[in-house]
C-alpha cells in the first residue's frame, strides 16, 4: 500500500525555472513531512521538513507548501541550477507508535543549463 504518492516521476526544467514536486498522503496521523535530495552514488540528504501546524516553510531556495485539508504538500525550488539535478523524495512520519519514515516514489529532476 503506497501511503505517500509523489509526482511527477521525472521533471526537466531550464536553469532559473521553478520546478515543483507534489506529494499526497492519506494517513492523518502523519505529523512530520521531510524532503530528501539524493545524488547518484550518495545517500539521501535531508533538505527541508515541515510539520502540519504551518502552511509554508522556506530554507534558502527551497520552499515547502503544505495543505493540511487537501493532505498534500509540495517542494518548490527557486532559481534552479544545474547542480540541483538529483532525485528528490518526499516522506512522512507518524508522531506516535513505530514512527517509520514512509517515502514517496521519487522524482528525478534535471535542470538544463
Partner 1 sequence: DTEVTQTPKHLVMGMTNKKSLKCEQHMGHRAMYWYKQKAKKPPELMFVYSYEKLSINESVPSRFSPECPNSSLLNLHLHALQPEDSALYLCASSQVLSQPQHFGDGTRLSIL
Binding site for partner 1 (CB under 8 A): 32, 34, 36, 41-46, 49, 87, 89, 95, 98-101, 103-106, 108
Closest CB to partner 1 among residues 1, 42: 42
Nearer to partner 1, 42 or 113 (CB): 42
- Strand positions, DSSP E, 1-113: 4-7, 10-14, 20-25, 30-38, 45-50, 56-59, 62-67, 72-77, 86-94, 101-103, 107-112
Q: Which is nearer to partner 1, 15 or 100 (CB)?
A: 100
For the CB of residue 44, give the shortest distance to partner 1 in the complex, in Å.
5
- Separation CA 44–CA 89 (nearest Å): 8
All three cell numbers of 14: 531550464
CB of 106 to partner 1, least distance (A): 6
Q: Kindly state the smallest distance separating residue 32's Cβ from partner 1, in Å.
A: 8
C-beta of 112: minimal distance to partner 1 in Å? 20
**What's the rounded Cα separation, in Å, for the pair 5 and 71?**
11
Amino acid at each position: 500500500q503506497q501511503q505517500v504518492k509523489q509526482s511527477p516521476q521525472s521533471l526537466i526544467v531550464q536553469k532559473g525555472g521553478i520546478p515543483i514536486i507534489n506529494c499526497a498522503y492519506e494517513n492523518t496521523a502523519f505529523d512530520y513531512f521531510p524532503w530528501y535530495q539524493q545524488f547518484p552514488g550518495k545517500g539521501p540528504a535531508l533538505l527541508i521538513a515541515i510539520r502540519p501546524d504551518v502552511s509554508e516553510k522556506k530554507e534558502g531556495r527551497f520552499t515547502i507548501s503544505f495543505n493540511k485539508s487537501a493532505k498534500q504538500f509540495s517542494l518548490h525550488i527557486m532559481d534552479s541550477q544545474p547542480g540541483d539535478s538529483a532525485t528528490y523524495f518526499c516522506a512522512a512520519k507518524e508522531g506516535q507508535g513505530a514512527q517509520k519514515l514512509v517515502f514517496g516514489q521519487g522524482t528525478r529532476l534535471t535542470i538544463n543549463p
